[in-house]
Amino acid sequence: LSESGVPQLVQPMIWDYAADLDVEGKVRLIEKYRRCGFSKVWFASAFKGATGVNQSLTLIGHHLKNHLQWLKVASNSPDDVLEGIALTGWQRYDHFSVLCELLPVAIPSLAVCLQALENGGYSEKTKENVEQLLGMSNLETETFMR
């Protein structure tokens, strides 16, 4: 791969939407990419739409945990390797599937995930900031929003 010149033309994106993604495994994968000549990698997470083909509502806690795991991967990787993170928001699993988790129900999840990434973690202060930004009185992350 390094001899092909491809690492000078593209940057790989590592996709994983799991709440319990394997941090050590991702760090090892980044090391493999570096040995092949890739100087930068991207991460791909999801703030909605990656938990079930028929999912109607977004479980914020699942996506928050995924982003917190990605932060761990970033902190355990070389400082200069991460180019960015793409927060995906899947609307359907394929073109023949019904729509899932429409954007309006997922906006709180997007706000939580963005704030977690911006602040390098999630705290009560971060939660209060999201509530204030969205005009909400009680943001729930471990149950479905009412």
Asked whether residue 95 is assigned to any structural domain, the reply reads yes
More confident residue, 124 or 51: 124
* Total count of domains within the chain: 1
Which residues constitute the domain of residue 113?
6-134
Asked whether residue 52 is assigned to any structural domain, the reply reads yes
Average pLDDT of the chain, as a whole number: 93
Asked whether residue 44 is assigned to any structural domain, the reply reads yes
Asked whether residue 146 is assigned to any structural domain, the reply reads no
pLDDT of 47: 96
Residue 14 phi, psi dihedral angles, 5° rounding:
-100, 115
Per-residue pLDDT averaged across 73-80, rounded? 96
Asked whether residue 145 is assigned to any structural domain, the reply reads no
Asked whether residue 41 is assigned to any structural domain, the reply reads yes
**CA dihedral angle for residue 114, residue 118, residue 123, residue 129, rounded to 10 degrees:** -70
Burial level of 146, CB count in 10 A (0-12/13-18/19+)? exposed
Quickly state the pLDDT bin for 146 (edges 50, 70, 90): low
Pick from 58, 60, 36: which is nearest to 49 by CA? 58
Q: Taking the alpha carbons of 120, 92, 42, 69 in that order, is the dihedral positive or negative?
A: positive
Cβ-Cβ contacts under 8 Å for 144 (sequence gap 6 or more) = 57, 58, 59
Strand partners, 41: 82
Alpha-carbon distance values, 53 to 45, 91, 100, 102 (Å): 17, 9, 6, 12
Q: What is the pLDDT of residues 80-139, one digit of tens each?
A: 999 999 999 988 888 888 888 899 999 999 999 999 999 999 999 999 999 999 999 889
pLDDT of 95: 85
Contact 88, 44 (CB under 8 A): yes
Asked whether residue 45 is assigned to any structural domain, the reply reads yes
Per-residue pLDDT averaged across 1-26, rounded? 95
Contact 84, 45 (CB under 8 A): no
Asked whether residue 142 is assigned to any structural domain, the reply reads no
DSSP label at residue 37: T
